[in-house]
Structure 1
Amino acid sequence: WEDYRLNYSSADFGGIGTIRVPADMVWLPDIVLENNIDGNFEVAYSANVLIYEGGSMYWLPPAIYRSTCSIEVTFFPFDWQNCSLVFRSQTYSAKEVQLTFGPDDVTGVPVKDIIIDPAAFTENGEWAIRHRPARQLLAPVSGQEAPGFSEMHYFLIIQRKPLFYIINIIIPCVLISSLVVLVYFLPAESGGQKCTVSISVLLAQTVFLFLIAQQVPETSLSVPLIGKYLLFVMVVATIIVTNCVIVLNVSLRSPSTHAMSRRLKHVIMEVLPEVPGPGSWLRSTSLQKPRSEDPLRAHGYYCKYYIALLRMELLFLSNLLYNMMFCLHTGGFSQLNGQLGLEAPQETPKGQQEMENWVMIGQVIDKLCFWAAILLFSIGTFAIFYMGLLNTAPDNPFPGMEEPY
């Protein structure tokens, strides 16, 4: 700024072109950081004021400015923030003190952005500076005596570097959450092990949610993107736990408590076994019938069945002939009757067959829910993180204004 009271000529003072005086001996404009957060409006070190001939004043005290910044965590950790520094005179209006941009030392053009000294600047490992524009504004005041206060707004648009969160939170969370799908590879006979695996994954997701809560600023205005994903996978894990309980309930049914309808048997035997699933399910069960549209395959199944039956019959006949010859020589026909009852091939009881049918129904439910969980998990993961990848800092911080910053 210029102070006409300190105007002098270097020719009158032996060619002295610059005078250094303490800051408390001259008039200073009361420029403060309006959006200060710590309440400390004073500079850290009161440097001397440089006075040039003609009354030009230059004062550059070192200071660390801490300002408020409204954080938007909707797309955390793929977010960007717009933090601003607002400087203005505390008591002088725009008619008395007018803030303007300083000229460039080389070109003389007003500098309308934040100047960063490459030699003194150290890049932050979490944030990257995208834009640093500045704007001169006139803040209105109440009353007609003054036109308002002259303000300088310096905008610092920064974008978060998500690599740390991708490596330490997102990738482990995705891998652990995908383990819940492995419960469909466990047979229904494993009992509560299916629920144990899925609940363990659910507990691990809860730990990740607690870790994220410590990294994100505490706010109820929006839910961060990584929080939405954790809630999503926790809902999927809860659904899978419910599915495991239903499968166990179906697989452990008995004919004395539940009856299977013909339509259900048709669906289980003819329709759903053709759907591929996680494992060789429904291949060795006695309910699966060979389909007529594949005669060679059906013929192979029938051959295997009759070969096994023939072996049993031959074994029975050989034992029968031996016992008959023994009884003819010893006269023990009563012993022969008991031996025939023990060695006769036993057929599967009807109750056992019904229990196997219920186990098959549980396997079919697992097969369908396996593909549903795969689709839901894949689509949800891609959709949530794709929204974060699209959230980037704008190319122009002031859209609609032709004047570049």
Structure 2
Amino acid sequence: MRLDFGALYCMVGLKVWCISGVFCTSDSSRLRKDLLELYDKSARPVKKDSSLVTVEFDIGLRQILDLNEQDEILQTLVWMRLYWKDEFLNWNVSDYGGLQKTSFPSSEIWRPDIFLLNTVDSRTRGSLQTVTDISVTSDGAVSWRQPDILKSSCGVDVSYFPFDQQTCTLEFASWIYNGEELDVTVRSDDIDVSAYQESDQYALISAMATRNVTIYKCCPHQYPSVVVTLRLKRLHLFYLVNMVVPCIDLLILNIVAFFIPPDTGERLGFTITILLALVVFQQILTQQLPATSRATPLLGT
């Protein structure tokens, strides 16, 4: 049996080409390999150290999970969106089969260290922990979208409880870089609430995002941040039925006590019963509100 050396050479050559990754590798795989070959994910994505990285910040409010009045903690479900330019992640579309867009795991390329500064979550400590892929286009435009559950501090004013309104803020900024290295801007002043799910306890009045610049005493540089302000109004029907109405009833009963003849024993027992009811009502109210001396709710006075 004679060997077909021509076919053998073709098979060997094809195998060599496949091993070298020239013809048997997809355009997407070749692109990722070429871009990451000399890529340093720990360095800012600029070719000149004096260049500024601008990060556009956008956030979508999905749901207000909880506002704990006692601990003064706001818990929200949000969709974070960050956009920036990476000067090392651009390519000629014609060299990669017309591929205009690709994605990378967030652990493979540089990403801004945006933290929630007023976090109270000891697990994440304010960093964005959700692992999602990062999208990159041929001109180096990077977009990173990820869902996250945030726990932030929120000072609660209960002066007009249960007809109160609360204003909570979430402040986002870079932890390492100053304003000359990384700038944080607002993509839109209005928070995206198109997918917002109404809360059973609070109604969302407004949601705004503003850019803020802070200069600390320790450092001469400016530190930009994005402050998200949420204005919430308590839905008071539950408290109206279970707290306000009983409070009015106790007030009426207290007035009725004056019409009971003083020479009867029922007047003393009646007033003692009202007093005990007031004590129980005060305890229930105390359990619902934060232990603070800044303001006392009118309902409890």
TM-score by length of 2: 0.68
Structure 2 segments unaligned to the other structure (5+ residues): 1-83
2 CA distance for matches of 1:177 and 1:144?
A: 58
Which letter does structure 1 place at the counterpart of 2:231?
I
The SS at the match of 2:119 is: coil
Question: Which of 189, 193, 209 is the matching residue for 1:112?
Answer: 189
**Equivalent in the alignment of 1:244:** none
Question: Which of 214, 230, 238 is the matching residue for 1:139?
Answer: 214
1 CA distance for matches of 2:293 and 2:217?
A: 34
Report if aligned partners of 1:177, 1:201 keep a CA contact under 8 Å in 2: no
Which letter does structure 1 place at the counterpart of 2:227?
H
- The structure with the largest strand share of the pair is 2
What displacement does 1:176 show?
Answer: 2.5
What displacement does 1:44 show?
Answer: 4.2
Deviations 1:263-288 (A, max 9, x none): xxxxxxxxxxxxxxxxxxxxxxxxxx
What displacement does 1:43 show?
Answer: 3.2
What displacement does 1:52 show?
Answer: 0.5
Structure 1 segments unaligned to the other structure (5+ residues): 103-110, 229-405
Larger radius of gyration between Structure 1 and Structure 2 = 1
**Equivalent in the alignment of 1:96:** 181
Question: Which of 88, 94, 99 is the matching residue for 1:5?
Answer: 88
2 CA distance for matches of 1:7 and 1:135?
A: 31
1 CA distance for matches of 2:231 and 2:295?
A: 20
What displacement does 1:226 show?
Answer: 1.0
Report if aligned partners of 1:67, 1:85 keep a CA contact under 8 Å in 2: yes
Report if aligned partners of 1:74, 1:224 keep a CA contact under 8 Å in 2: yes
Deviations 1:161-197 (A, max 9, x none): 111111111111211321122233333442x221111
Question: Which of 205, 212, 215 is the matching residue for 1:130?
Answer: 205
Alignment of 1:268-283 (within 5 A): none
Number of residue-to-residue matches in the alignment: 216
What displacement does 1:128 show?
Answer: 0.8
2 CA distance for matches of 1:77 and 1:144?
A: 43
Deviations 1:300-349 (A, max 9, x none): xxxxxxxxxxxxxxxxxxxxxxxxxxxxxxxxxxxxxxxxxxxxxxxxxx
**In the alignment, is residue 205 of structure 1 matched against residue 283 of structure 2?**
no
**In the alignment, is residue 19 of structure 1 matched against residue 19 of structure 2?**
no
The SS at the match of 1:62 is: strand
2 CA distance for matches of 1:6 and 1:181?
A: 77
1 CA distance for matches of 2:219 and 2:299?
A: 51
**Equivalent in the alignment of 1:217:** 290
What displacement does 1:144 show?
Answer: 6.8
Deviations 1:361-384 (A, max 9, x none): xxxxxxxxxxxxxxxxxxxxxxxx
What displacement does 1:131 show?
Answer: 1.4
CA RMSD, 1 decimal: 1.6
What displacement does 1:14 show?
Answer: 0.7
What displacement does 1:160 show?
Answer: 1.0
1 CA distance for matches of 2:268 and 2:251?
A: 15
Alignment of 1:235-250 (within 5 A): none
Report if aligned partners of 2:114, 2:128 keep a CA contact under 8 Å in 1: no
Report if aligned partners of 2:118, 2:152 keep a CA contact under 8 Å in 1: yes
Which letter does structure 1 place at the counterpart of 2:283?
F
* Residues 1:173 and 1:5: Cα distance change in structure 2 (over 3 Å): same
2 CA distance for matches of 1:126 and 1:162?
A: 8
**In the alignment, is residue 168 of structure 1 matched against residue 251 of structure 2?**
no
What displacement does 1:25 show?
Answer: 1.3
Question: Which of 61, 64, 73 is the matching residue for 2:146?
Answer: 61
1 CA distance for matches of 2:258 and 2:271?
A: 10
Report if aligned partners of 1:44, 1:64 keep a CA contact under 8 Å in 2: no
2 CA distance for matches of 1:74 and 1:94?
A: 39
Report if aligned partners of 1:113, 1:154 keep a CA contact under 8 Å in 2: no
The SS at the match of 2:280 is: helix
2 CA distance for matches of 1:143 and 1:125?
A: 44
Which letter does structure 2 place at the counterpart of 1:129?
L
1 CA distance for matches of 2:286 and 2:218?
A: 47
1 CA distance for matches of 2:161 and 2:219?
A: 46
Report if aligned partners of 1:49, 1:57 keep a CA contact under 8 Å in 2: yes
2 CA distance for matches of 1:52 and 1:200?
A: 73
2 CA distance for matches of 1:62 and 1:134?
A: 18
TM-score by length of 1: 0.51
**Equivalent in the alignment of 2:266:** 193
What displacement does 1:141 show?
Answer: 3.2
**Equivalent in the alignment of 2:229:** 155
